[in-house]
Amino acid sequence: MGYSQEQPIFSTRAHVFQIDPNTKKNWVPTSKHAVTVSYFYDSTRNVYRIISLDGSKAIINSTITPNMTFTKTSQKFGQWADSRANTVYGLGFSSEHHLSKFAEKFQEFKEAARLAKEKSQEKMELTSTPSQESAGGDLQSPLTPESINGTDDERTPDVTQNSEPRAEPTQNALPFSHRVVKKWPVLFLPLPTLPLLYYFESKSQTYNFIHKYFLKLLLSFLKNLFTKVVQLFIFYLSSITDYLKLFTIFFDF
């Protein structure tokens, strides 16, 4: 398993129990007598584990996670649940002092496991973020996996070859957008604005912005013109109505 070749960082002796998988209530002893229960640090996986052997048989092999909790249920008995092993372990100690010491170490290594997990996540974020930026066409960060592995020189030709084909759709799309937009100034915009617009013709973003701006001005002008025409029509209509009233009054006399 690998833990037999490592030195335990803390050991004690206790009777080992597991919860009955059928009833989930009763305790089932897994050792006939008190056995050694040890905390191990797995440097390969950067995790802490609780290991207990009864002869050559591993009766406890539990990896400590930040979500685990060791609970004292009596003066000499404590337990914790291991979701990975799908069981609950129980330990019966010879004294309250041994139980308290084991619980203290459990909390200590649980906190160490939490810090190790956070550092591992930060390391993954630092190594993954530059690779995502380079894939999107941004400047490569010095922390890319290629630079860490020392393969920058080998990767550079591939990046150049991949970046060149990506520019082709943009170059093909710009003339098409010009052909479509060229008709708009002639149809909708005042003549004094045409030289200014054609000056920005080669700059698609600026040209589109100017075009949209003048188009908004034109729409606003047409809206105001339509409002004035309607108001004028209503005014003349009311004037005609007044004349008709006067005409009717005159003939009544």
Q: What is the pLDDT of residues 175-233, one digit of tens each?
A: 444 444 444 444 455 555 555 555 555 556 666 777 788 888 899 999 999 998 998 88
Q: Would you list the domain boundaries of the chain?
A: 3-119, 185-249
Q: Which of 6, 12, 66, 68 is nearest to 35 (CA)?
A: 12
Residue 204, amino acid: S
CATH of 3-119, one of 2.30.29.30, 3.30.70.360, 3.40.640.10, 2.40.50.140: 2.30.29.30
Poorest-pLDDT segment among 82-96, 166-180, 216-230: 166-180
Poorest-pLDDT segment among 81-90, 127-136, 179-188: 179-188
Given a cut of 90, whether residue 51 has pLDDT beyond it is: yes
Given a cut of 60, whether residue 68 has pLDDT beyond it is: yes
Cβ atoms of 88 and 19 within 8 Å: the answer is yes
Kindly report each contact of residues 104-107 with a partner whose C-beta sits within 8 Å and lies 24 or more positions away, as own/partner.
Answer: 105/10, 105/39, 106/64, 106/68, 106/70, 106/80, 107/70
pLDDT at 72: 95
How confident is the model over 120-131, as a mean pLDDT? Answer: 72
How confident is the model over 238-245, as a mean pLDDT? Answer: 80
Which residue reads 């729409």 in tokens?
219
How confident is the model over 43-50, as a mean pLDDT? Answer: 88
